[in-house]
Amino acid sequence: MSLSNRYEFVFLFDVTDGNPNGDPDVGNAPRIDPETGHGLVTDVCLKRKVRDYVTLLKGDEPPYSIYVKQKEVLNQLNELAYKAFDIKPEKKKLPKNVDEAKRLTQWMCQNFYDIRTFGQVMTTEVNCGEVYGPVQMKFSRSIDPITDIEHTITRMAVTNEKDMEKGQTMGRKHTIPYALYRCHGYVVASNAEKSGFDESDLELFFTALENLFEHDRSATRGEMSVCGLYVFKHSSPLGNAPAKKLFNTIQVKPVAQDTFPRQFNDYQVTVDQSAVPEGVELIIRYEEA
């Protein structure tokens, strides 16, 4: 059980004529850093996709059930069968009992993949009700500033009878012509031990990242794909080098200065293997040619 190595990862993905993550503050336009114009994708946006992928692959069965669900997934399942737990919960309703709280938390971790991975606030009234998951992700940021294009679209139908004469309604959608995003993530071995996240869970997580957009197609997203997944494996659970140093070994730069990038080939990813410190192994899980 649990992990004996610390990990960091760099995850690259791109979008073509789509909106990777809408901002509810500005009418669902792509998230943008107002000062630099770079595009942003929140950590929770990618975590949602990991959850959805795991459900698709593992069918929402323990130990891969997903706690935080989307309704669409709901229709596929009714009642989950839980495996019997060897310790019987106490009859007394004493939620302050620390042992019981631990058992509840442990049991949830065993059954639910997303709780094991990302953590969850379990209860308010018990002490041990919080799980810190080992996987931590930062906001993703585009390599270059993005251009958000707002399109007005029409629908040849109306919703209400009173609009019948109009014959059509107008709508809006936002797209980015092209953007390459970079995400940094951490896998904290000490948290893995507590939540029971093990090597096979980690493998599943990386598999989910590799396939993150293959099953997340929609009218909004346009064409999104994974461009790279670089995993740094430390030889010790505490780690062997600062995360920043590792992230810096992977540089992403536009090939030409004065053109507008419109495809992944307009960028060059350089991996400086020689700068990877001793005790750290760089595993290239996925790299777009």
Contact 267, 251 (CB under 8 A): no
Which one, 245 or 285, has the nearer CB to other proteins?
Answer: 245
Q: Pattern 183-212, binding to other proteins, x per CB under 8 A?
A: -x-x-x-xx---------------------
The nearest distance, CB 228 to other proteins, in angstroms, is 20
Which one, 26 or 153, has the nearer CB to other proteins?
Answer: 26
CA atoms within 13 A on the CB side of 239: 16
CA atoms within 13 A on the CB side of 113: 28
Q: Pattern 129-148, binding to other proteins, x per CB under 8 A?
A: x--x---xxxx-x-------
The structure tokens 């209400």 sit at: 160
Count residues contacting other proteins (CB under 8 A)? 64
From the list 59, 82, 260, 275, which residue makes contact with other proteins (rule: CB under 8 A)? 82
The dihedral through the CA atoms of 64, 65, 68, 69 has a sign that is: positive
From the list 54, 126, 209, 212, which residue makes contact with other proteins (rule: CB under 8 A)? 126
Residue 69 interacts with other proteins (CB under 8 A): yes or no: yes
Strands 22-23 and 140-145: unpaired
From the list 57, 241, 252, 276, which residue makes contact with other proteins (rule: CB under 8 A)? 241
Q: H or E element: which one contains 229?
A: strand 223-234
Residue 289 interacts with other proteins (CB under 8 A): yes or no: no
CA–CA dist 281, 228 (Å, integer): 16
From the list 4, 27, 68, 272, which residue makes contact with other proteins (rule: CB under 8 A)? 68
Q: Pattern 31-60, binding to other proteins, x per CB under 8 A?
A: x-xxx------xxx----------------
* b/e code 3-31 from CB counts within 10 Å (16+ = b): bebbbbbbbbbbbbebbbbbbeeeeebbb
Length of the chain: 289
Which one, 36 or 168, has the nearer CB to other proteins?
Answer: 36
Which one, 42 or 147, has the nearer CB to other proteins?
Answer: 42
Give residues with Cβ within 8 angstroms of 185, minimum separation 6. 8, 9, 10, 11, 135, 136, 137, 138
From the list 1, 121, 256, 289, which residue makes contact with other proteins (rule: CB under 8 A)? 121
In 3D space, the residue among 244, 255, 262, 74 whose CA is nearest the CA of residue 175 turns out to be 262
Residue 283 interacts with other proteins (CB under 8 A): yes or no: no
Segment interacting with other proteins, rule: CB under 8 A, options 21-29, 201-209, 213-221, 223-231: 21-29
The nearest distance, CB 123 to other proteins, in angstroms, is 4
Angle between helices 199-210 and 43-58 (to 10 degrees): 110
By CB under 8 A, name the binding residues for other proteins.
Answer: 6, 23-25, 31, 33-35, 42-44, 65-71, 74, 79-85, 88-89, 95, 101, 103-104, 107-108, 111-112, 120-126, 129, 132, 136-139, 141, 184, 186, 188, 190-191, 236, 238-245
